[in-house]
């Protein structure tokens, strides 16, 4: 204590003289003693604190760094090879930094000196190493961290550049190690820290290559052919389909500021990261220092990152996607941010009106008196089936899929649906009113939202007749009477 306070005094004196010198020689630039002291401390810290790094699993990130000086930070990261869920009913042997995909989030400060320990669990079948893009040095650390199962390697590095960096395994075959999930993010906070926000989350995209197609059940092996063709069966956030939906959704309150640390492990695809219904106020493009304002979609390269910030102004569900949109709706790259709080109708009104639009000269003019649109009326079951087929393609197929098979974890099947066949009235009600909340279909839980669609009773009868007479459902005809009754008795 005493020693360091005398040190301080000597240093302050030195700073004082140095500062006077600067002030005398350069009057245009006001430099305070405190600033000079700080810069001296930065350059040669006296006694560096030794800190054990706090590591977190996605979507959580360690707390912001409040230290004003660099420290010696000890990072211990353990590689394990584990079987985990890729999607409902689909398993995969992931190779992980810390037990899950993406790897643990590491948070350090510019000029920190990191003592990095890489442990490879004795049960692993492969050697692994680590290349941290935040490291200046051969292989980003890979050259010093080749670690056989049951071994631990150690190396030190100094975090020279602030930014959000990807780390990944770089053991041959490199592509396969990355394709199996060996990547994560390390944040090097700038000396001055990042501006305070209310919520911070960790989201990392990756593409996966399985022998079976999307949704094919069971333990799926890695498919080298598909990886070479860059034709993934899965593109997901945080290691699995549904990792950020339903109960796993990110949350925020109206008025809060949100920062997403977004990474892309690849191995192959570039992400067009977008949050449906939000505009990023700030994007630290490619995880660097430059901030772009008012961005809709930001590119996150394979092996790259971005930091996005926005304020939650309007309550509702916001969907995180790779805007290469088939990946989102058909391969898993879809997450959810639930924003709760009061509405401000000035910012977003919700639907105010839905009325018939008939431009002048429009051909739809047979019933000028009527407020309802002219729709084809089915006079028999065959006609219902015919019309229902088109209605299905236009209104349902995007979610429930062409053969009514649905998408596991997101959209329940209509094909052989026990939910549907057990109570057709209830199903009609679902189509007429929409549905929110948890339901069980063929043994799978769904906890999502089916929107209220704008269909007439006639159209509902047709599309439901079509659904009931296809894909192994129990048949029958749904007519106008059924729809009216079902609507009247519907409660959910
Ligand atoms: Cu590896």
Distance (Å) from CA 95 to ligand 1 centroid: 7
- Looking at residue 450, its pLDDT comes to 82
| Percent of the chain scoring above 70 in pLDDT | 87
Distance (Å) from CA 129 to ligand 1 centroid: 6
Mean pLDDT of the chain: 88
DSSP codes, 60-86 = --PPPP--SS--EEEEEEEEEEEEEEE
Q: Which of 387, 362, 392 is nearest to 375 (CA)?
A: 387
Residue 25 has pLDDT above 70, yes or no: no
Residue 1 has pLDDT above 50, yes or no: no
pLDDT per residue over 351-383, tens digit each? 877 777 767 665 443 333 334 444 567 889 999
**What is the C-alpha separation between 397 and 394, in angstroms, rounded?**
7
Distance (Å) from CA 83 to ligand 1 centroid: 15
Distance (Å) from CA 10 to ligand 1 centroid: 50
Distance (Å) from CA 61 to ligand 1 centroid: 23
Distance (Å) from CA 260 to ligand 1 centroid: 26
Distance (Å) from CA 430 to ligand 1 centroid: 47
Determine contact, residues 335/203, Cβ cutoff 8 Å. yes
Distance (Å) from CA 177 to ligand 1 centroid: 5
pLDDT per residue over 117-130, tens digit each? 999 999 999 999 99
- Looking at residue 31, its pLDDT comes to 58
- Looking at residue 477, its pLDDT comes to 95
Distance (Å) from CA 362 to ligand 1 centroid: 64
pLDDT per residue over 312-349, tens digit each? 999 999 999 999 999 999 999 999 999 999 988 888 88
- Looking at residue 148, its pLDDT comes to 94
- Looking at residue 86, its pLDDT comes to 96
E strand intervals along 136-290? 152-158, 163-168, 183-189, 199-208, 218-220, 234-237, 250-253, 257-266, 271-276, 280-284
**Residue 271, φ and ψ in degrees, nearest 5:** -95, 135
User: 0.85 exceeded by the pTM?
Assistant: no
Distance (Å) from CA 78 to ligand 1 centroid: 11
Residue 70: both structure tokens together: 């660099």
- Looking at residue 364, its pLDDT comes to 40
Distance (Å) from CA 231 to ligand 1 centroid: 21
Distance (Å) from CA 313 to ligand 1 centroid: 42
Distance (Å) from CA 222 to ligand 1 centroid: 14
Confidence of residue 44 (pLDDT cuts 50, 70, 90): low
Q: Which of 258, 256, 462, 314 is nearest to 376 (CA)?
A: 462
| Percent of the chain scoring above 90 in pLDDT | 75
């Amino acid at each position: 204590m005493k020693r360091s306070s005398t040190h301080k005094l000597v240093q302050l004196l030195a700073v004082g003289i140095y500062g006077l010198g600067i002030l005398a020689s350069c009057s245009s630039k006001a430099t305070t003693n405190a600033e000079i002291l700080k810069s001296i401390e930065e350059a040669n810290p006296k006694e560096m604190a030794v800190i054990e790094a706090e590591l977190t699993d996605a979507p959580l990130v360690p707390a912001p760094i409040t230290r004003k000086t660099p420290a010696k930070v000890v990072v211990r990261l353990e590689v394990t090879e584990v079987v985990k869920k890729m999607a409902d009913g689909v398993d995969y042997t992931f190779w992980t930094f810390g037990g899950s995909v993406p790897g643990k989030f590491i948070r350090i400060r510019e000029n920190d000196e990191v003592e990095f320990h890489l442990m490879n669990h004795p049960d692993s079948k492969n050697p692994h190493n680590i290349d941290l893009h935040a490291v200046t040095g051969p292989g980003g650390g890979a050259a010093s961290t080749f670690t056989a199962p049951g071994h631990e390697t150690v190396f030190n590095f100094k975090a020279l550049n602030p930014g959000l960096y990807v780390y990944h395994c770089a053991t041959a075959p490199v592509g396969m190690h990355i394709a199996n999930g060996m990547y994560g993010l390390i944040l090097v906070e700038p000396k001055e820290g990042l501006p305070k926000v209310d919520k911070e989350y960790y989201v990392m995209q990756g593409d996966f290559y399985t022998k079976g197609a999307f949704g094919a059940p069971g333990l799926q092996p890695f498919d080298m052919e598909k990886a070479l063709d860059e034709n993934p069966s899965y593109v997901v956030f945080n290691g699995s389909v549904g990792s950020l939906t339903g109960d796993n959704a990110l949350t925020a309150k109206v008025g809060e500021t949100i920062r997403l640390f977004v990474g892309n492990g690849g191995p192959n695809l570039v992400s067009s990261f977008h949050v449906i219904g939000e505009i990023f106020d700030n994007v630290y493009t490619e995880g660097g220092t430059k901030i772009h304002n008012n961005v809709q979609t930001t590119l996150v390269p394979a092996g790259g990152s971005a930091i996005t910030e926005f304020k939650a102004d309007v309550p509702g569900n916001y969907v995180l996607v790779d805007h290469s949109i088939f990946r989102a709706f058909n391969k898993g790259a879809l997450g959810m941010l639930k924003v709760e709080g009061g509405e401000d109708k000035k910012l977003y009104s919700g639907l105010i009106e839905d009325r018939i639009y008939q431009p002048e000269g429009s051909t739809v003019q047979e019933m000028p008196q009527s407020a309802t649109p002219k729709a084809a009326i089915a006079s028999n079951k065959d006609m219902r089936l015919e019309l229902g087929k088109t209605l299905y393609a236009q209104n349902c197929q995007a979610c429930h899929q062409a053969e009514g098979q649905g998408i596991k974890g997101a959209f329940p099947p209509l094909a052989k649906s026990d939910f549907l066949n057990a109570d057709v009235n209830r199903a009609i009600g679902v189509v007429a009113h929409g549905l929110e909340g948890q339901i069980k279909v063929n043994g799978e839980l769904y906890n999502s939202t089916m929107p209220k669609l704008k269909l007439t009773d006639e159209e509902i009868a047709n599309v439901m007749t079509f659904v009931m007479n296809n894909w192994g459902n129990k048949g029958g005809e749904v007519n106008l009477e059924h729809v009216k009754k079902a609507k009247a008795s519907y409660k959910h």
